[in-house]
Structure 1
Amino acid sequence: MLDLVETRSVSPVFVGRQSESETLASLLRAADAGTPQAAVIGGEAGVGKTRLLEEFLAGAAGAGALTAVGAGVELGADGLPFAPVAALLRSLHRQVGDELVAAAGERRGELARLLPELGEPSGVPPVDGDALDRARLFELLTRLLERLAQQRTLVLVFEDLHWADRSTRELLAYYVRSVRAARLLVLASYRTDDLHRRHPLRPFLAELDRLRTVHRIELGRLSGREVAAQMAGILGAPADAGQARSVFQRTEGNPFFVEELTVGGQPCGDLPDTLRDLLLVRVEALDEPVQDVLRVVAEGGSCVEHELIARVAGLPEQELLAAVRVAVGARLLVATEDGDGYRFRHALTREAVADDLLPGERARLNRRYARALEAEPELVPADELPTRLASHWYHAGDRARALPAVLAAAVAAGRRFANAEQLRLLERAIELWDAVGDEARAGLRPAQPIWGYPASDAGGPVGWTDLMAEAAVAATLAGEEERAMALCRRALREVDPVERPLHAAWFWAQRAGMVGRLMRGDGWAELRRAQELLRGLPPSEVHARVLALEAAMRSKQGPAPEVLEVAERAVELARLVGATGTELYARYTLATLQADAGDSEGGVERMTAVLETVLRRGEVTLLGRCLVNLGAVLLDSGQFERGLEQIAESIELAERYGLAETPSWLRANEAFALTLLGRWPEAEAALELATRHASHDHSRMVSRVLTGQLAVLRGDLARAEAEAAAALARAEGMKTPDLFHWELSRFRVDLAVARGRPLQAREILRSSLPLVSYFGSSLLAWGLAFAAATAEAEGRGLPGFAEGREAAVGEIRALARRLPRDLPIREAFSALVNAQLARAEGRDTPERWAEAVAALTPFGLPHHLAEARYGWGEALLAGGDQDGRRQAAEQLGAARELVERLGAAPLAERVARLAQRARLDLTAEPGARPGPEPEARPFGLTRRERDVLELVAAGRSNRQIAEELYMSPKTASVHVSRILAKLEVTTRGEAAAVAHRLRLVTLS
């Protein structure tokens, strides 16, 4: 058929683009060498992205590469799920069919969802498992491409990424992140002028920009000289200078517009006033039958099959071919790669032709398309049929036919793991629902079961409530929590809680989880409402779901007996009613409670068993929770290396299975552990990734707090202040206190201490205590207790600080008493906190600190060990004897070595100051005896200076000191200056603090 069609290129000469071509050539060379490459090419419509890619692909194919092109398809507002991916696979199948089938191997049934030529698709999973199977599909497809690239370089092109569906973008991002060694080059192009402020491609491009493996190429317009060269190529002779200048001025160097104005052998004289008129000039010059065919093709989508055009146009074959021949000869249409259809040579022309249709014309064409597809569905690929049919009936204005078609397309999108597209289609169905009659709705049936949702009575027709539930689940799986919340609110306004209590309870339970994740509350009010609706009803899956959610929410209170009882009842009830997903959810809650109660090994074993079942069944709604909590429990039990290994595995699973927010939480947990272990550069890298993945306020705040905490430890207080301000600004809108408050409070206390504001630290703790009950992460809680104890110890002796010290220490002790000590890591932190509190009261002993060091040592926490050795050295110095000084030098020397390796500037400074005041040489060989103390007491203070220091520490002025010690005020001033110099401090307050900490004066 296409042999009858004559084509020729408008611009036989490829003008400009030397730099861009060289960049692509270098990427191809790198891919040839086995390093996968990726590039995104942006530019306005008509600037030459396609021509650049065509020229490059021709050269790559000539050099032996296997190339394939897939394009995003603009089809109404829907978008075909995975359309570019399916097109790429079809192209590869045409070129290397047997090799592709062999590369797919035994998994071709799963890949058949995208390429039906591979055979029958595998069985359809339940809705809640779609995202998990989508992730498996991502992994299978990536491995397939890697296998195809073993023998030669594989070049894949995604054109028109601005039209691609979200699932395609997620697949592309997964490929870029996961492929490490392959002869693969992936290129993607998009229109920069189509990216409005809220275009979904914008955040995707921002994510790619942060990946060093992705290159960005921006195509600009041609220069005046390049425009003249392009015109000469089209005309076959140099263009008149005046004409070339005129064309350049009117087109501003856009190559496509230059072609349009230089058509027919000479530049157009009278230039149209608008872009639309310019694009229609050559269309309107054609005969009416040709224009009719162009209108049919324009309304059919980006690419339209020849036989489908024939059915819709209603022309005899010879007349259709004649019209197509003219359209191709006029360089308006080109044949598709597979040779069975056509597309407009440029999308701008198609848009202009489609926009020129009258409303009635458009509806009529869409109706004819829809009827043709219903009569002969084999006219289009099976995987495209539901979405295309839904779009045509919708734009035909036939709502009664559009509703079932849209619902069928939503089911198909879900089965292809395209949850974002499924949500868009379900929202369109909601829009159509009230516009059709009962008769049209009566034939609709539920698509797939939803976890915990009450099934329609006796398999009856799907109702509006069922549709809202499907949309809410799709929104959750697509990561659009705000939209899911809005859908639940709308459903609850319409559902009669008396007539349909199970349905209303299900939506209230959904809301209970959402308000917690969105930080809008604790979810208890919503859960109580669900429980009220279920009271007195026979057991059901909704009952099990609500009870399991209650157990999960109560687990934040810790493993109290009543909480464990609720979790056990939830497991039993879910098992009784056959709610497998709910049972897994409740079992996981029970396992975390058992681990938190001290049975860490048993709890982790049970959590791992649930995770394996979740992966096997594809229960995606549970996967993120399982992945995050398993690593967190290991860390909280002190199994840091094992926890980091589990987190690394979980990150890989989360990215493979498309869990958008989960990697942020996992990276934050990873950074927390790496910070404790003193691997600060790695922690910083993990926090950068956590911030990159964060899409919710909650996870962004956690990343900011951990980033600020690391800055405090390093002494970058300006950075820490900025992070604290940002975190506090976000925390103001949090209606639910949660685990985040432990770390936020600890960060703020540490920052206040670093700023020399212990009173502020005391107030921060006091205001935070009402927000922090027991939340199940003991390390965070012990961290807060230690930070608060350090604030009290460092502030000892400062003017005005003694007032309220006893109450503050009591509050910290009360907090510590509430925390568990049933694991070695918890015992270690308990010893550390107790030693620091004793130091705050002036009652610490070397033995207390030795106990803390011994307890901490097995866990390898260098900063905490350095703090403990610092306290140990200070307590030894307070004894004043020579042996104590020798031991103090050893402890401070060990602390110095730790903090210097870490880069912990504030603690390093404290260690150095203490050593200097005590006249200790920490650079001496280990075991060397320190020099003798010049006087009976440390720091070279004379007896008279010690008397003066007693009064300075008591807050006396120079005149008061002079009166009490019978000396002149000038002499008192001289003594104070000498004391400040010997203690190496700058203020009387600092001198008082040092005196109290080192027991140079009697504690008041």
Structure 2
Amino acid sequence: MLGLVETKSVSPVFVGRTEELEALNDALVRAAAGEPQALLIGGEAGVGKTRLVEEFATAACRDGAVVALGGCVEIGADGLPFAPFSTALRALRREMPDDFAAAAAGQEEELTRLLPELGESSGGRHDEEGMARLFELTARLLERVAADRTVVVALEDLHWADASTRHLLAYLFRTLRTGRLVVLATYRADDIHRRHPLRPLLAELDRLRTVRRIDVGRFTRDEVGRQLAGILATEPDPTQVDAIFERSDGNAFFVEELAVCGTEGCGTGLTDSLRDLLLVRVERLTESAQRVARVAAEGGSTVEYRLLTAVAGLAEDDLIEALRAAVNANILLATPDGDGYRFRHSLVREAVSDDLLPGERSRLNRRYAEALEADPTLVPADQRIMRLASYWYHAHHPAKALPAVLDASVEARCRHAYSEQLRLLERAMELWDAAPEDVRDTLRPIDYTEVYPPCGCDPATTPLRYLDILAEAAVAGRLSGERERALKITKRALHLLEDDGDPLRAAWFWVQRSRLVQALARGDGWRELGTAQRLVRGLPPSEVHAEVLDNVARWSMLHEPGPDALSAAESAVEYARMVGARETELNARITLGALLVDSGSPEPGLAEMYEVKQQALTEGVPSVAGRAYVNLPSELDAVGRTREAVPILQEGLAYTRKFGLLDSEAWVWANLSEALYSLGRWDEAADAAAGALRVGLSAKPQGGGAMCLAHVALGRGDLAEAARQLAAARAHLGTHDPMPQYSLLLSRIAIGIAAAEGRLLDARAELAGVLATGVPPGTQRYGWPMLLAAATAEADSRALPAAAENRAEVLQRLRDAAKKTATDAPIWLAHEQWVRAELARAESRDTADLWSEVVTAFERLERPYDLARVRLRLAEALLTAGGDEERDRAAELLRLARAITDHLGARPLAHSVALLAQRARLALSPVPPRRSADPAEALGLTSREYDVLRLVAVGRTNRQIAEELFISPKTASVHVSNILGKLGVAGRGEAAAVAHRLGLFPTGDGDRMVAG
């Protein structure tokens, strides 16, 4: 309206800040090379942070970068959710429309929470990963936008930031990995008191090596002199420089104010009070200009011209004159778009606002609210609801404030700004009793709640209850991470429900309390779930009933898998279907499928999980699909179908990353690490475990990643690293919520480390702790490896005198535990045979036949490391038996084992192989083949192996070969295994093909030999 007005208090010359600019320019250079940069710029109010950013931004634009500025907006005492990011993204979209559209393609619906211009949002699902999903998509959007051109995103006034903005900034600083991107934020250091919400974030970011801190200090006397020279357009008098430097203490803004006061005849009698200093020039304005300044101060960081016109109560000509006076005095500035005004410095605005009388402040807020209600177009659409709620609240008008605050809470929820939603709902609680009853009666749950617990009432006609607000607030607290506040809210709700006679609503709150107790490490949550289950027992089917049963089934699957868990899952599916709770049904079916697999019915269980995964993908339910990508391949791996699990896990990584399901992605990484370990791809397994640690938001998936790293380190003999990762896993998982899938794996690793270090008694103590609670039904996938680790530790230490004490008792306890552990899949049957063989070895009564059975079992499985271990044991048993043929077989087994250990880097096993070969005087190095006309001899086949290969070539089984050659089936199996290794083939069919290709047997010779 007024255009550009020349001011004389701001120096046209940029003074000082050499080191700060160098740091910023260095960040720009690094970003241009593809290394994202994160910077925090702190300094006291008025020290010159904004001017520094402006200078840097101007230079960056000259170098071809795109600069997007966004400021945290203060509305009264409230921050507007995601305001600086919305402004910055809007600027990027305006400057790079094509690149922005391509980067946002396919995710517009989710990104509308930050930038409404992208389209309509359907609301979506509100769960623990909702906000993380939005954050991940925002990070990927910025990386893609900055793929080919340097982008600077500058966020100012972080001290005013809402919690959601702080969370998103922290996420970006932690996760940005690619792109030519600089993200910087400024904040007032002197405002960050001990309880300021920004303080924990700054402490967290200080620990990140990728974040650079720039502290903007005060000017020196020389710099103050140069600043004054720029302001005055002449060299200042040294005594004036001394006086202003002393009074301003080098604060750039105070230097400006003092310089203006000196030139405008304010004299030198200024009070030392900062507030009075800031108000001096305001008080010199005309009465109408002062009035406009007071109105603008209460309107927010920026006030639109039309809104200001509606509230100021001045004729337009008088308003323009008043604004001109305020702008000429350098109190107000026109916004860049020319549509509004803001104070040149927020310190002046705060001083003017603080100078308002209490009644004056509430009156101004009421006038703002009334103007906005009369004409909603006075402010941008994405700010309208929040600002109206703030104005009515600070106007102290409960009848208007309560519905406005509830409307704002819905808006915050739609934007996944759960922290702001919680704060607004707490305001609604505060306003509830003060609001007239007839106003409360017009409010409906269907308008204001997402998580309304069904209680037999129609939410479209039933008035909103105080308990409905508590329910919404409890979920908002859980989703925002404010779990302590959420726990207090559930306590208040349950207290109110003691005499309410609403068991469904009470059960719903107990379920929420269970989840919060687990998240806060206050227990395992079962007492709360048990209470909820008792409350719904015998009631008609309902969504709450189905949700309770689903949570009970999930809890039981993780803590006490067995018949009761299976029954709960079946009931949850049935109830969810009856009431049409589709998402609950799909989740319960995943749980049911997993429990079926673990109970010994793998085929129907896996079929159910495959079907749910496909239905979740088809119906567009990302949370369920993400869970299916975690659980289905885990169950496939559990029954030995690991190679089938890997592509599903890789598909799951792409899916969870696309939808920002970070915890699900972390679990997929952890499960992929386990699968790759089993398949003998240890380098890839370590990388996958690191991925779980990198992306996991919650403690448990990070604990899973640490366990995988410990497992790999133990296999490679790095005991220090294994112990470190084991400790990290235990720290992540805690002790408040023990689950067999964690405790058995942790004990397995702990026993392995203790045994490797010769601490048998510690290994036994760890085993005793596990066996005290037993190996629950359905946990054989975790129980067998733990029992095997303990049995191996006993067998390896059988020669130690100290190990003899209590050995018989320990071995018997292991046998008893093994008898109770299921063997319903080939992989666990193989483990059962292995444990039995190790227990026999611990008593020095193992035989080659016993170990041959184990080798045969593992030859059918894709477990190369396990196969190498049992081949070592078979070789040892063969050498003990003696005989030339046994020595040949043992040597070949050791060669095959060593090939695997070399590939994996399994140093302890390689050492054991080499030591056994040395003791037996066996050469494991390959002997250069001598030229021979006989192809069989050239392949290194013994005469017996030649006969076995002849029968393999005509399709004979091991038993048929044994009958033909008068040997045992186990010996035949060993020969077949050796032949496959020498020929370098994976199976019998390939071996037969090699034999025919080399012409080892004339056509029909095999048949004649068998017939004869």
Per the normalisation by structure 2, the TM-score is: 0.81
Equivalent position SS for 1:821:
coil
Greater Cα offset, 191-200 or 391-400: 191-200
Say which of 740, 743, 753 aligns to 2:742.
Answer: 740
Equivalent position SS for 2:73:
coil
Q: 1:341 is matched with which residue?
A: 340
With over 3 angstroms needed to count, the CA separation of the structure-2 counterparts of 1:549 and 1:98, relative to structure 1, is closer
With over 3 angstroms needed to count, the CA separation of the structure-2 counterparts of 1:112 and 1:585, relative to structure 1, is closer
> What's the offset of the Cα at 1:689?
5.1
**CA distance in 2: counterparts of 1:827 and 1:504, whole angstroms:** 46
Q: 1:234 is matched with which residue?
A: 231
Q: 1:471 is matched with which residue?
A: 473
Task: Calculate percent identity across the aligned residue pairs.
Answer: 50
> What's the offset of the Cα at 1:425?
1.7
C-alpha contact (below 8 Å) 1:130/1:415 kept by paired residues: no
Greater Cα offset, 847-856 or 724-733: 724-733
C-alpha contact (below 8 Å) 1:262/1:268 kept by paired residues: no
C-alpha contact (below 8 Å) 1:406/1:428 kept by paired residues: yes
Say which of 479, 495, 498 aligns to 2:497.
Answer: 495
Greater Cα offset, 576-585 or 906-915: 906-915
Greater Cα offset, 422-431 or 769-778: 769-778
C-alpha contact (below 8 Å) 1:519/1:698 kept by paired residues: no
Q: Counterparts in 2 of 1:654-693, with a 5 A limit?
A: 654=656, 656-659=658-661, 661-677=663-679, 683-684=685-686, 686-688=688-690, 690-691=692-693
C-alpha contact (below 8 Å) 2:455/2:502 kept by paired residues: no
Q: Counterparts in 2 of 1:696-715, with a 5 A limit?
A: 698=700, 701-702=703-704, 705-715=707-717
**CA distance in 1: counterparts of 2:888 and 2:913, whole angstroms:** 15
Q: 1:436 is matched with which residue?
A: 435
Q: Counterparts in 2 of 1:483-882, with a 5 A limit?
A: 483-496=485-498, 499-556=501-558, 560=562, 563-597=565-599, 600=602, 603-611=605-613, 613-614=615-616, 622=624, 625-640=627-642, 643-651=645-653, 653-654=655-656, 656-659=658-661, 661-677=663-679, 683-684=685-686, 686-688=688-690, 690-691=692-693, 698=700, 701-702=703-704, 705-721=707-723, 733-734=735-736, 736-774=738-776, 776=778, 778-856=780-858, 861=863, 863-881=865-883
Is 1:2 paired with 2:2?
yes
2:155 corresponds to which letter in structure 1?
F
**CA distance in 2: counterparts of 1:727 and 1:182, whole angstroms:** 32
**CA distance in 2: counterparts of 1:687 and 1:250, whole angstroms:** 58
Q: 1:156 is matched with which residue?
A: 153
C-alpha contact (below 8 Å) 1:479/1:660 kept by paired residues: no
C-alpha contact (below 8 Å) 1:68/1:155 kept by paired residues: yes
C-alpha contact (below 8 Å) 1:296/1:309 kept by paired residues: yes
2:230 corresponds to which letter in structure 1?
G
Q: Counterparts in 2 of 1:282-431, with a 5 A limit?
A: 282-431=281-430
With over 3 angstroms needed to count, the CA separation of the structure-2 counterparts of 1:107 and 1:900, relative to structure 1, is closer
With over 3 angstroms needed to count, the CA separation of the structure-2 counterparts of 1:759 and 1:96, relative to structure 1, is closer
Is 1:39 paired with 2:38?
yes
**CA distance in 2: counterparts of 1:25 and 1:596, whole angstroms:** 58
2:185 corresponds to which letter in structure 1?
A
Equivalent position SS for 2:377:
helix
With over 3 angstroms needed to count, the CA separation of the structure-2 counterparts of 1:335 and 1:738, relative to structure 1, is farther
**CA distance in 2: counterparts of 1:855 and 1:2, whole angstroms:** 87
Q: 1:50 is matched with which residue?
A: 50
Unaligned segments of structure 2, at least 5 residues = 931-1012
1:763 corresponds to which letter in structure 2?
A
> What's the offset of the Cα at 1:769?
2.1
Equivalent position SS for 1:548:
helix
Equivalent position SS for 1:401:
helix
Q: 1:987 is matched with which residue?
A: none
Q: 2:455 is matched with which residue?
A: 454
C-alpha contact (below 8 Å) 1:614/1:620 kept by paired residues: yes
Residues 303-352 of structure 1: per-residue CA shift (max 9 Å, x gap): 22122222222223233323322333333332223221122233333333
Residues 601-654 of structure 1: per-residue CA shift (max 9 Å, x gap): 654453354345446666576566444323432432334455455445545554
**CA distance in 1: counterparts of 2:813 and 2:81, whole angstroms:** 58
> What's the offset of the Cα at 1:465?
1.3
Equivalent position SS for 2:74:
coil
Larger relative contact order (Cα-Cα within 8 Å, sequence gap ≥ 6): 1
C-alpha contact (below 8 Å) 1:128/1:619 kept by paired residues: no
Q: 1:165 is matched with which residue?
A: 162
> What's the offset of the Cα at 1:857?
5.5
Greater Cα offset, 590-599 or 501-510: 590-599
**CA distance in 1: counterparts of 2:279 and 2:596, whole angstroms:** 72
With over 3 angstroms needed to count, the CA separation of the structure-2 counterparts of 1:902 and 1:115, relative to structure 1, is closer
**CA distance in 2: counterparts of 1:176 and 1:728, whole angstroms:** 27
Q: 1:976 is matched with which residue?
A: none
> What's the offset of the Cα at 1:269?
5.4
Equivalent position SS for 1:3:
coil
C-alpha contact (below 8 Å) 1:627/1:650 kept by paired residues: yes
C-alpha contact (below 8 Å) 1:676/1:863 kept by paired residues: yes
Equivalent position SS for 1:189:
strand
Per the normalisation by structure 1, the TM-score is: 0.81
Residues 500-520 of structure 1: per-residue CA shift (max 9 Å, x gap): 121112222333444445554
C-alpha contact (below 8 Å) 2:69/2:154 kept by paired residues: yes
**CA distance in 2: counterparts of 1:609 and 1:202, whole angstroms:** 48
Q: 2:14 is matched with which residue?
A: 14
**CA distance in 1: counterparts of 2:617 and 2:681, whole angstroms:** 32
**CA distance in 1: counterparts of 2:471 and 2:896, whole angstroms:** 61
**CA distance in 1: counterparts of 2:486 and 2:809, whole angstroms:** 47
> What's the offset of the Cα at 1:779?
3.4
Unaligned segments of structure 1, at least 5 residues = 929-1004
With over 3 angstroms needed to count, the CA separation of the structure-2 counterparts of 1:441 and 1:663, relative to structure 1, is same
Q: Counterparts in 2 of 1:902-941, with a 5 A limit?
A: 902-918=904-920, 922=924, 925=927
C-alpha contact (below 8 Å) 1:715/1:904 kept by paired residues: yes
C-alpha contact (below 8 Å) 2:561/2:779 kept by paired residues: no
Residues 877-899 of structure 1: per-residue CA shift (max 9 Å, x gap): 43354554554454445545544
Q: 2:84 is matched with which residue?
A: 84
**CA distance in 2: counterparts of 1:501 and 1:888, whole angstroms:** 69
**CA distance in 2: counterparts of 1:924 and 1:109, whole angstroms:** 63
> What's the offset of the Cα at 1:744?
2.0
> What's the offset of the Cα at 1:407?
0.8
C-alpha contact (below 8 Å) 2:751/2:763 kept by paired residues: yes
Superposed CA RMSD in Å reads: 4.1
> What's the offset of the Cα at 1:579?
1.8
Greater Cα offset, 794-803 or 899-908: 899-908
1:570 corresponds to which letter in structure 2?
A
> What's the offset of the Cα at 1:536?
3.8
> What's the offset of the Cα at 1:16?
3.2
Residues 767-787 of structure 1: per-residue CA shift (max 9 Å, x gap): 222345437454322221111
Greater Cα offset, 907-916 or 816-825: 907-916
1:759 corresponds to which letter in structure 2?
L
Length, aligned pairs only = 925
C-alpha contact (below 8 Å) 2:597/2:606 kept by paired residues: yes
C-alpha contact (below 8 Å) 1:15/1:230 kept by paired residues: yes
C-alpha contact (below 8 Å) 1:585/1:622 kept by paired residues: yes
C-alpha contact (below 8 Å) 1:131/1:657 kept by paired residues: no
C-alpha contact (below 8 Å) 2:741/2:779 kept by paired residues: yes
With over 3 angstroms needed to count, the CA separation of the structure-2 counterparts of 1:662 and 1:499, relative to structure 1, is same
With over 3 angstroms needed to count, the CA separation of the structure-2 counterparts of 1:857 and 1:799, relative to structure 1, is same
Is 1:188 paired with 2:185?
yes
Equivalent position SS for 1:844:
coil
